[in-house]
Chain A
Amino acid sequence: MLQDVIEAGNGDMIVNVGPQHPATHGVLHLVITIHGETIKKVEPHLGYIHRSIEKMCESLTYRQFIYVTSRMDYLSSHINNHACALLTEKALQIEVPERAQYIRVIMDELTRLASHQLWWGAMAMDIGALTPFFLAFREREMINDIMEETCGARLTMNYMVPGGVMFDIHPNFVQKVKEFNAHFKQKIDEYDELLTGNIIFQNRMKGVGVLSKEDAISFGCTGPTARASGVSCDIRKLFPYEVYDKVSFKECMATEGDSFARYVVRLEEMKESMRIIDQLIDNIPEGEIQGKTKAVLKPPKGEFYTRVETARGELGVYVVSEGATTPYRIKFRSPGFSNLSALDHIARGQKLGDLVAMMGTLDLVIPDIDR
Chain B
Amino acid sequence: MFSLENITNLVSTWLYANLDPTWALVVQFVIVGVLVISLFSILGLVLIMMERRVAAWMQLRLGPNRVGPRGYFQTVADTLKLIVKEGMTPDGADKFLFNLAPFIVMIVSMVIMAPLMFAKGFQIWDVNIGVFFITAVSSVSVIGILMAGWASNNKYSLLGAMRSGAQIVSYELSAGLAILTIVVFSGSLQVSTIVESQADGWWLLKGHVPAVISFVIFIIAVTAETNRAPFDLAEAESELTAGFHTEYSGMKFALFFLAEYVNIFVVCAVGATLYLGGWMPFHIGNWTSFNQVMDYIPSSAWFFGKTFFLIFVIMWFRWTFPRLRIDQLLNLEWKYLLPISLFNLLLATVIAIMGLHF
Contacts and interface: CB of A to CB of B under 8 A. Distances in A.
Interface of A: 1, 13, 15, 21-23, 37, 124-131, 133-135, 138, 194-195, 198, 200-201, 203-204, 351-356
A299 to B, nearest CB: 46
Contact of B159 (A22, A23, A134, A352): A352
Contact of B59 (A131, A198, A352, A355): A131
A138 B60 CA distance: 9
12 contacts: A1-B154, A22-B238, A22-B241, A37-B159, A37-B326, A125-B238, A126-B238, A128-B230, A128-B236, A200-B230, A201-B322, A204-B325
B61 interface: yes
B190 interface: no
A203 B323 CA distance: 10
Given A22-B241, A37-B159, A128-B321, 5 more contacts: A129-B322, A131-B319, A131-B320, A201-B322, A204-B322
Tell me whether chain A's interface is mostly helix, strand or loop, or mixed: helix
B154 A130 contact: no
Interface centre among A15, A125, A127 (most CB of B within 10 A): A127
Contacts of A127: 238, 322-323
Contacts of A126: 238
A194 B321 CA distance: 8
Interface in B319-358: 319-328
B233 interface: yes
A21 B241 contact: yes
Contacts of A200: 230, 321-324, 328
Contacts of A195: 322
A34 to B, nearest CB: 8
- Which 3 A/B pairs are nearest by Cβ-Cβ distance? A128-B323, A129-B322, A134-B59
B60 A134 contact: yes
Given A127-B322, A128-B236, A138-B60, A351 B327 contact: yes
A354 B325 contact: yes
A163 to B, nearest CB: 42
Given A13-B155, A128-B230, A138-B60, A23 B324 contact: no
Contact of B324 (A13, A138, A204): A204
B320 A194 contact: yes
Contacts of B325: 203-204, 351, 353-354
A249 B58 CA distance: 35
Given A352-B239, A353-B325, A1 B233 contact: no
B219 to A, nearest CB: 16
Contacts of A125: 238
Interface residues of B, number: 32
B225 interface: no
A130 B324 contact: no
A251 B93 CA distance: 55
B156 interface: yes
B153 interface: yes
B229 interface: yes
Given A23-B238, A351-B327, A128 B60 contact: no
Interface string B140-153: 00000000000001
Interface in B300-323: 319-323
A127 B59 CA distance: 17
B328 A204 contact: yes
B210 to A, nearest CB: 24
A353 B236 contact: yes
B60 A353 contact: no
Nearest to A354: B325
A198 B319 CA distance: 13
A350 B239 CA distance: 14
A232 B61 CA distance: 41
Interface centre among B61, B158, B236, B239 (most CB of A within 10 A): B239
B92 A1 contact: yes
A206 to B, nearest CB: 11
A353 B321 contact: no
B60 A203 contact: no
B59 A356 contact: no
Nearest to B328: A203
Contacts of A133: 59
Interface centre among B60, B92, B321, B327 (most CB of A within 10 A): B321
A131 B238 contact: no
B239 A124 contact: no
A87 B153 CA distance: 53
Contacts of A135: 60
A128 B238 contact: yes
B172 interface: no
A126 B241 CA distance: 11
Contact of B233 (A13, A22, A23, A353): A353
B78 interface: no
Interface string B223-251: 00000011011001111010000000000
